[in-house]
Amino acid sequence: MTSDAETRQPPPPSSEPILQGGAWLPHGYRLDPHSHVQGQLVYAAAGALATVTRRGTWVAPANRVTWTPPPFAHSHRFYGETDVRLVVVPLDLCARLVDHPSVFAVSPLLREALLALTDRPERRSDAHRRLLTVIVDELTDSAEQFLHLPEPGDDRLRAATALLYEDPARPVTLAGLGRTVGASERTLSRLFHTELGMSFHRWRTTLRIHHALVHLADGRSVTDTAMTCGWSNPSSFIDAVTEVIGQTPGRYQAELRKGR
């Protein structure tokens, strides 16, 4: 294992993905698609991260932790100056967690355990294992927090969601999207529910919140973020973000600054 100081340094762009420990990563840093033979938890103690798998995209602000079980191929992108913590979960403990990529809420105990496990090099394997067991116990009792955008399969739905990815603030109706991609409003509505498990409105709101968290992590104001991501006024934006991540955008930014 490296020293504590070494584990807190950004890896060079050409290096293999970090498997365990912590690092400060710059805004926009990417880890290309890869997989692990064991499970992995990725926690942004400050900043935010997006995890992409074949099942879709998950976004985790500083009060969430991402879980990727083996052997899912996945990539990461980090937003804002990110204090990232990575924890390897051995196969025997993976069986206690869900068998698909997910995002979990971070309780105060879970946060402290994640920080303690990644702040220092492993010197005593028995103590490391006990702390890791505490983390898994906390995750077992934690509800999944779906800041998740599933990946569509139908070509018409893929075309519709691609347009929204390009411009989340696009003021288009479902009927308007249908005309553009060659599908009726009723067909697109059905596809959103059957393939993505949510309504068009819910999917687009989640997409906009993904983008909003990125802008907030990069230091943009709440009002500017709201307008850029498609909300007509800051109040409705604040309500939407608070409902999804459990805190106001202003509070979220304040905690990011505190974390740094």
List 88's β-bridge partners, or say none. 40
Cβ-proximal residues to 243 (8 Å cutoff; 6+ apart), any chain: none
CATH code that applies to domain 4-141: 2.60.120.280
| Alpha-carbon span 176 to 178, nearest angstrom | 5
| Alpha-carbon span 45 to 111, nearest angstrom | 8
CATH code that applies to domain 152-259: 1.10.10.60
pLDDT of the residue at 122: 67
Which mean pLDDT values do the consecutive 10-residue runs of the chain (260 residues) have? 36 47 88 92 89 86 88 90 92 92 89 90 80 93 74 92 92 93 94 92 90 86 94 92 84 74
| Alpha-carbon span 248 to 23, nearest angstrom | 27
pLDDT of the residue at 2: 36
pLDDT of the residue at 9: 39
Cβ(217)–Cβ(48) under 8 Å? yes
| Residue tagged 């983008």 (tokens) | 211
Is residue 233 classed exposed, middle or buried when 0-12, 13-18 and 19+ CB atoms within 10 A define those classes?
exposed
Token digits of residue 88: 């390897």
| Alpha-carbon span 241 to 213, nearest angstrom | 9
Whole-prediction pTM: 0.71
Domains in the chain: boundaries:
4-141, 152-259
List 150's β-bridge partners, or say none. 56
CATH fold match for the domains 4-141 and 152-259: no
